[in-house]
Amino acid sequence: MDYGETLAYWYLRLNGFFPLTNFVNHRLKEKDIEHPSDCDVLAVRPPHVFEDIGGKPDDIDPWIWEQIKSERTLGIICEVKTGRFDPKCIFRQQYNLYNLQRLGFTDDFDLLYELSHSEQPFFDIKDNFRVIKLFISAKNSNGPYINCTVAQLFQFLLNRVNKYPIEKYQDRMFFNSILFQGIIEINHLKKVLKIND
């Protein structure tokens, strides 16, 4: 994972999602997938997620909650581009279908096929599930997806570590990301050395 995908992973993880990174979309001619690709992060969030440290309702990023506005089980199809990108190369229909099938919210292929062609940033599957297309980029971008920037993710992670500085510092080695461990360490050093932002 590159740094953008790592930030996306931890952003979703700390907002109650169970993320899967670099989900491979295999070449399948019957699904018009001529070239293998991957979904940067595929994630699921049940409606009643709770953790004592960082998993309470007021710990959820208000920005993402405002975007999703749902008590359903959530699925995220997340693409990350930290540099230039071709808008035609993100959230392509055949890959959307592959990713929707992996989420497993329904086995109704016709419905999944129809939803994979949706030009909406999110859509509901029956009454129980909502799928969101989340695009993370270096700069703001408009399209048939919900967009946030790498800077927003970074700020959220900094805020979360600052909210639980003792717990995150004590447990920093359990987070399997050097980038996230570094964010925790920088926050700790700022407090020890009394460095202002």
User: Which of 38-42, 149-153, 167-171 comes out lowest in average pLDDT?
Assistant: 38-42
Residues in Cβ contact with 93 at an 8 Å cutoff, skipping those fewer than 6 apart: 116, 117
Picking from 106, 110, 144, 107, the residue whose alpha carbon sits closest to that of residue 125 is: 106
Please classify residue 133 by burial: count the beta carbons closer than 10 Å to its beta carbon, then call 0-12 exposed, 13-18 middle and 19+ buried: buried
Q: Which residue has the higher pLDDT, 13 or 196?
A: 13
CB 22 within 8 A of CB 154: no
**Measuring CA to CA, how many Å separate 154 from each of 76, 111, 113, 150, 166?**
19, 36, 35, 6, 19
Q: How does the average pLDDT of the chain come out, rounded?
A: 89
Listed by start position, the domains of the chain span: 3-150
Average of per-residue pLDDT across 82-97: 88
pLDDT tens figures, 111-143: 998 999 999 999 999 889 999 999 999 999 999
Give the whole-angstrom CA distance, residue 6 versus residue 61: 17
Average of per-residue pLDDT across 87-95: 86
